[in-house]
Structure 1
Amino acid sequence: MTFTQKLNTAWQSQQSLLMVGLDPDAARLPASLQGKPDAIYQFCTAIVDATAPYVCGFKPQIAYFAALRAEEQLEAICQYILKHHPHLPLVLDAKRGDIGSTAEQYAREAFERYGADAVTLSPYLGFESVQPYLSWKDKGVVLLCRTSNPGSAALQMIEDAKGEPLYLRVASMVAQEWNADGQCALVVGATYPEELAKVRARVGDMPLLVPGIGAQGGDIPATVKAGSDSQGMGMMINSSRAILYARKGDDWAHASAEAARETRDAINAARAALASD
C-alpha cells in the first residue's frame, strides 16, 4: 500500500483525523520511567498502544530523539508501530532540505532506517531537494507550506508581482508540478484557518498535515471547516504535548488515551456539524 492509500484507509477504518506526535521530553517523562535506559521507548510505545484506537497515525519528531542520543530507541519505536499497528501511517517529522546525494541519504534514513511511510520536508531548495524522496513510489513527502508559528509570515506571506503569497505558490507548485504520482501532502497550521481554507481550495483533495491544535491553541471547528476535503476528511490533525503529557502520575497512559479520545470526538463532532450545514 502506498502512503496515501494507507492514510485513506486509516481515515475510514479509524473514523479519525487525529495524528499523535511523539515528542518525548526527558524532563516530562513519568517518574516511574526516570533514569531507565529505555525510558523513551517505554514511554512512546505505551502512548502508541493507549492512543491507537483513536488516531489515524503517529508522527515522531526526530529532534527529540537525536537530542537525547536516542535514535536507536526511535528505530525500535518505529518498528514497534509497524509491527503492532501496521494499519496506521508513520510520518517521520524531520523537515529535511538538501539536494543530490545528501538528500538521497536523508531519504534512506527516513524510509530504510526508520521505515516511515512519509517524511516532512522543506521545499525551499526546490524540486531537486524533493525528487530523491519521490523515487520511493510507495512513500509520501509532506512539504512545509503555511506553518503554525507566528514568525513564519516573514517569508510565507511575501507576495509576488501578482499579489500571490509565497505559501500559495508553494501549494500550487506541489499540487500541479511535484505530485505526479500522488505522493505529496502539505503542512498547514491550524492557527491560520483562513490560509488553511485557501490552501484547500488550491490543492483539491491533497492530504494536509495540520499542527497547531492543543498546546498551540488552534480551534478545532475552524480547522475542520477550513481544511476538510470533498469527502469530509483530508487532514492529519496533529496533537503532541496535550496528549503525551495529559496528566502526571501512575495513570499517565490512560490519561493520554482519554485526551486522544476526547480530541478525536471533538474533531468528529465538528465534522458532523459541518456535514449537517
Structure 2
Amino acid sequence: MTRQQLFEKIREKESFLCVGLDSDLSKIPSHLHKAIDPIFEFNKQIIDATYQYAIAYKPNLAFYEALGSKGMESLERTMEYIPKDIFTIADAKRGDIGNTSNMYAKAFFENMNFDSVTVAPYMGEDSVTPYLEYPRKWVVLLAATSNKGSFDFQELMIESTGEKLYEQVIRKSASWSNANNMMYVVGATRAESLIGVRALVPDHFLLIPGVGAQGGSLEQVCKYGMNKQCGLIVNSSRGIIYAGSDENFGAAAANAAKKLQQEMAAQLQLHLG
C-alpha cells in the first residue's frame, strides 16, 4: 500500500485507527475455547466487528509465537482473512543484521504478506535496509516508546549534538529512505515529544500506541503530530479487543472502535477540514 493509498483510506473511513490483535488465549471469551482454532475465531469476530472503523490491523507476533506451530497457523489464517484493502503491521520488533534481517524481511513480506513490520534500529543501517528493498512495503522504526524503561536509553542526551538519543536515531535513520516506506513509533503518552519528532520527519507516518488503556490523549496526539496527510496511525489493542468478555464481545469491540473512530473523524475535520 502506498502512502497516497493509505491517506485515501483514512479519508474514506474518516479514521486512522489500527486495531492491535494482541490475542491472548487466557483472555479471550471462554466459549471460544470450544472452537477448533480459538485464536483465529476470536480474531475473525474482532475483524468483522471493527472493519468498518479501522484502516489497519496489527497482530503482535509474541502472542502467536508463544503458542508454537498452532499459534502461527492462527496468524496465517488471520492474515488470509483480513480484507486486502486494510493496512497490516507485523508487530515483531525485529533487530538483527545481514542475512538474518534478509530472512526476517522475506518471512514477513513474502511468506506472510504483511504491509509493514516493526523494527528496532539500534543496530544501525544494515539492520534496516533489507526491509527497505521491498516495493510497497513499510518499515516501522521504534523511535520514542512509552514504556517505563524507555528512559534508560532513549532520553539520554548526546553532548556533541544536544539531541536526545531517540532524536538522533530519527535524524540518522531518515536518511536511509523516505516517507514513502518508513514510519516511526512514538508513544501516545509522550505526545509533546511529537513536536520535536515532527521537526525531524514532517512528512512521515507515525504509529502511535498508548491511546486508551495506557492513558494517551488522542486530542494531544493530533495537536502535535498530525500533518497535511494525517500522518498518524493510532493503535488500540486491549481497549477494543477486550472491551467485552462474553458472547457479545464482538458488539463491545465494535462500540469501542466506533467511539474512537468518531473522535478521529472530529480531529480530521478540525485539522484537515
Listed as ranges, the gaps of 5+ residues in structure 2 are: none
Q: TM-score, normalised by structure 1?
A: 0.93
Listed as ranges, the gaps of 5+ residues in structure 1 are: none
1:227/1:180 Cα in 2 relative to 1: closer, same or farther (>3 Å)? closer
SS of alignment partner, residue 54 of structure 1: coil
Aligned residue pairs: how many? 270
Higher helix share: 1
Provide the C-alpha distance between the structure 2 equivalents of 1:270 and 1:207, rounded to a whole number of angstroms: 16
SS of alignment partner, residue 141 of structure 1: strand
2:201 counterpart of 1:236: no
| 1:192-223: CA deviation from partner (whole Å, max 9, x where unpaired) | 01112211222012000000011111011111
Counterpart position of 1:259: 256
Counterpart position of 2:219: 221
2:132 counterpart of 1:134: yes
Provide the C-alpha distance between the structure 1 equivalents of 2:66 and 2:34, rounded to a whole number of angstroms: 16
Question: Is the CA contact 1:210–1:236 (under 8 Å) kept in the aligned structure 2?
Answer: yes
Counterpart position of 1:245: 242
Provide the C-alpha distance between the structure 2 equivalents of 1:66 and 1:121, rounded to a whole number of angstroms: 17
SS of alignment partner, residue 16 of structure 1: coil
Q: TM-score, normalised by structure 2?
A: 0.94
Counterpart position of 2:266: 269
Matches within 5 A, 1:27-106: 27-69=26-68, 70-81=71-82, 85-106=83-104
Question: Is the CA contact 1:75–1:113 (under 8 Å) kept in the aligned structure 2?
Answer: no
Question: Is the CA contact 1:174–1:184 (under 8 Å) kept in the aligned structure 2?
Answer: no
Shift of 1:181: 7.4
Provide the C-alpha distance between the structure 1 equivalents of 2:55 and 2:232, rounded to a whole number of angstroms: 9
Question: Is the CA contact 2:240–2:253 (under 8 Å) kept in the aligned structure 1?
Answer: yes
Question: Is the CA contact 1:6–1:89 (under 8 Å) kept in the aligned structure 2?
Answer: no
1:79/1:136 Cα in 2 relative to 1: closer, same or farther (>3 Å)? same
| 1:15-71: CA deviation from partner (whole Å, max 9, x where unpaired) | 111110000011111122024330001100111111010011111100011112201
Provide the C-alpha distance between the structure 2 equivalents of 1:18 and 1:180, rounded to a whole number of angstroms: 23
Provide the C-alpha distance between the structure 2 equivalents of 1:174 and 1:7, rounded to a whole number of angstroms: 22
Question: Is the CA contact 2:132–2:139 (under 8 Å) kept in the aligned structure 1?
Answer: yes
SS of alignment partner, residue 192 of structure 2: helix
Counterpart position of 1:185: 183
